[in-house]
């Protein structure tokens, strides 16, 4: 926003900040929070503390102290933001994803040479895992976690290396309980935390980085959360009508290590299931209006039973039946995308495609959070500072979303 645009909505921003920052115990903390929001919203190339302070005409050390060493409860503020976002956006899905933060040097918490889908390569970066409330027209982050690479665990064989890592962790203020775990597990932790606040996803969508994990899908099943997730075509599944049989020990050799039902017929890849159905099984569907008109493609819809020893089984011991959806455009010789979904068997195919494609909003979020609001501009070197910065950027994004959805909004955004 320009200074004039910000002045037009100043009263609304102050009211919003007062409500969102109410969990902060002291009035000076709430005032600093409102100042930080103004700094994030004002136009400017960099949204790190010193450039923001210069544009605002305030002492940057005050902003730095507020973000890094002040005692306000980040999680209480984020919980309030999440409840407001759910009420505002009225999401049709929650989307799980992650984004990379390119960094120079090794001082930032959890920075490492690692693959980032955002950067499209292995690079020196941090990775943040996030959950967003989405519709086709609006979205807002609900929670964030900073991914801990294995190189930031100090339980290593080499005592000297372990001591060095422990020192790095101490300098960044990383809590002892924060250790490396898969991104899908961090996503489940966020879902659990939000559910504990009384917020429950209508369904969860994710890309193949999460959907390929049968443990992630099983965790959603255990919580009764419906999902539609992208997967790779080489994942294995049985046909829906395959019959499981009871495991029987012949009395010779070792007894089986697993009891219950087994599937005598070998599972085949999702790609093979779709090829067997053939291109004639594809139907043409559209999912939304894009900048160049209606977005439409051809899709195959099948029922399958995903296989694998980590796939959670139904109470009767059988593998659960799921939707397999494949996008197979007329001009392609093979499908280009695959999804698995636990939504009911009578779900409208048009809805399945709409939910499967709704992840596009997250790319929109990340782009705006970074280029417009400085999500990746934080230059501090503390664990607490990173989580506070992304929380305050989330607040700024939510305020902009509120203006967009309000037809009486007084300033262009």
Tens digit of pLDDT for each residue in 137-181?
899 999 999 999 999 997 765 556 778 899 999 999 999 999 999
3-state secondary structure 346-408: CCCHHHHHHHHHCCHHHHHHHHHHHHCCCCCCCCCCCHHHHHHHHHHHHHHHHHHHHHHHCCC
pLDDT of residue 291: 79
Q: Which residues contact 151 (CB under 8 A, 6 or more apart)?
A: 112, 165
Distance CA 213, CA 11 (A): 46
Query: What's the pLDDT tens digit per position in 383-397?
Result: 999 999 999 999 999
pLDDT of residue 13: 95
> Do residues 261 and 378 make contact, with C-beta atoms less than 8 angstroms apart?
no
Q: Which residues contact 362 (CB under 8 A, 6 or more apart)?
A: 95, 97, 132, 134, 139
User: What is the three-class DSSP state of 94?
Assistant: strand
List per-residue pLDDT tens for the chain, 413 residues long.
Answer: 999 999 999 999 999 999 999 999 999 999 999 999 999 999 988 998 899 999 999 998 999 999 999 999 999 999 999 999 999 999 999 999 999 999 988 899 999 999 988 888 999 999 999 999 999 989 999 999 999 999 999 776 555 677 889 999 999 999 999 999 999 999 999 999 999 999 999 999 999 999 999 999 999 999 999 999 999 999 999 999 887 777 665 566 665 555 567 777 779 999 999 999 999 999 999 999 887 889 999 999 999 999 987 787 877 778 899 999 999 999 999 999 999 999 999 999 999 999 999 998 888 889 999 999 999 999 989 999 999 999 999 999 999 999 999 866 554 44
User: What is the three-class DSSP state of 338?
Assistant: strand
> Do residues 47 and 377 make contact, with C-beta atoms less than 8 angstroms apart?
yes
Average pLDDT score over the chain? 91
Q: Which residues contact 345 (CB under 8 A, 6 or more apart)?
A: 303, 321, 323
pLDDT of residue 216: 97
Query: What's the pLDDT tens digit per position in 89-111?
Result: 999 999 999 999 999 888 999 99
pLDDT of residue 411: 45
Distance CA 305, CA 268 (A): 11
Distance CA 241, CA 246 (A): 16
Which residues pair with residue 340 across a beta bridge?
A: 229, 324
pLDDT of residue 183: 97
Which residues pair with residue 129 across a beta bridge?
A: 98, 145
Smallest CA-to-CA distance from 87 within 353, 412, 402, 348 is with 402
């Amino acid at each position: 926003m320009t200074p004039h645009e910000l002045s037009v909505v100043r009263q609304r921003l102050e009211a919003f900040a007062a409500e969102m920052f109410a969990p902060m115990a002291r009035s000076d903390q709430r005032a600093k929070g409102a100042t930080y929001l103004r700094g994030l919203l004002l136009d400017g190339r960099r949204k790190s503390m010193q450039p923001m302070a210069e544009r605002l005409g305030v002492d940057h050390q005050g902003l730095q102290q507020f973000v890094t060493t002040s005692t306000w409860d980040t999680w209480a503020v984020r919980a309030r933001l999440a409840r407001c976002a759910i009420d505002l956006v009225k999401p049709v899905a929650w989307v799980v994803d992650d984004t990379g933060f390119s960094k120079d040097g090794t001082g930032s918490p959890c920075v490492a040479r690692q693959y980032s889908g955002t950067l499209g390569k292995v690079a020196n970066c941090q990775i943040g895992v996030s959950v967003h409330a989405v519709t086709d027209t609006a979205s807002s982050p609900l929670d964030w976690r900073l991914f801990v690479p294995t190189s930031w665990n100090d339980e290593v064989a080499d005592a000297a290396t372990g001591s060095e890592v422990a020192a790095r962790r101490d300098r960044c203020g990383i809590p002892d309980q924060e250790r490396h775990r898969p991104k899908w597990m961090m996503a489940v932790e966020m879902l659990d935390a939000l559910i504990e606040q009384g917020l429950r996803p209508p369904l969860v969508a994710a890309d193949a980085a999460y959907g390929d994990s049968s443990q992630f899908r099983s965790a959603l099943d255990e919580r009764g959360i419906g999902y539609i997730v992208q997967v790779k075509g080489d994942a294995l599944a049985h046909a829906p009508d395959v019959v499981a049989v009871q495991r029987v020990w012949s009395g010779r050799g070792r007894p089986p290590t697993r009891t219950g039902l087994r599937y005598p017929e070998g599972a085949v890849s999702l790609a093979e299931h779709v090829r067997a159905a053939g291109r004639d099984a594809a139907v043409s569907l559209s999912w939304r209006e894009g900048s160049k008109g209606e977005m439409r493609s051809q899709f195959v819809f099948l029922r399958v039973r995903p296989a694998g020893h980590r796939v959670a089984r139904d109470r009767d011991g059988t593998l659960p039946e799921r939707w397999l959806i494949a996008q197979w455009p007329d001009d392609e010789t093979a499908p280009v995308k695959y999804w698995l979904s636990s939504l009911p068997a009578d779900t409208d195919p048009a809805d399945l495609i709409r939910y499967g494609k709704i992840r596009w909003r997250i790319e929109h979020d990340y782009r705006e959070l970074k280029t417009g609001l400085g999500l990746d501009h934080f230059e501090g070197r503390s664990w607490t500072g990173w989580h506070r910065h992304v929380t305050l950027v989330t607040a700024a994004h939510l305020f902009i979303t509120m203006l967009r959805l309000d037809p009486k909004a007084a300033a262009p955004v």
